[in-house]
Every structure is written in structure tokens, then in C-alpha cells.
Amino acid sequence: MNEKRQQEYKMIGLNIAYYRKLKGLTQLQLAEKINISRTHMSNIEAPNMPTSVSLETLLDIADTLEIPVANLLYFNR
């Protein structure tokens, strides 16, 4: 994975963590709502572990957090 892509995955993870916390959910609670493991949720959010995320999972996260999926893909550079 190239450096640019790693940065993008990192930003997606940070955006997910931000909106999850705004919603008052733990990683476990969000993971359970979208049917993934807490470990996978943690890996998606971890800034030091760029982890790919499927489009379906990304859409499920946005739906659960009640935000447009675009919010997770917006990188304020």
C-alpha cells in the first residue's frame, strides 16, 4: 500500500472514531451494530494501522452513526 493510500485509510479511521464518539458509542457497540468484530473496528480506527474497509462496512457505519458517508471520506488537509 502506498503512502498516500495509508494516509487516506488513517483519515477514514479518525473520522469514524470522531463521529462514533460524538454519538456516544464504544467501539464494541458500533461493531455489534454493524456485525463486525470489535478487533476489526479497532483496527479500522487505529491511526498506526491503516486497515482497508469495505464499502458495505463504510455505508453501515455511516447509517449507524446517522451521518452522510461523505463525512467519513472528507479529509481536511
CATH classification at residue 45: 1.10.260.40
Confidence of residue 50 (pLDDT cuts 50, 70, 90): confident
Q: How far is CA 26 from CA 13, 44, 69, in A?
A: 14, 14, 19
Inter-residue contact 41 to 30 (CB < 8 Å): yes
Residue 54 lies inside a defined structural domain of this protein: yes
Residue 41 lies inside a defined structural domain of this protein: yes
Residue 76 lies inside a defined structural domain of this protein: no
Arithmetic mean of pLDDT over the chain: 94
Q: What is the mean pLDDT of residues 29-47?
A: 96
Q: What is the mean pLDDT of residues 5-25?
A: 95
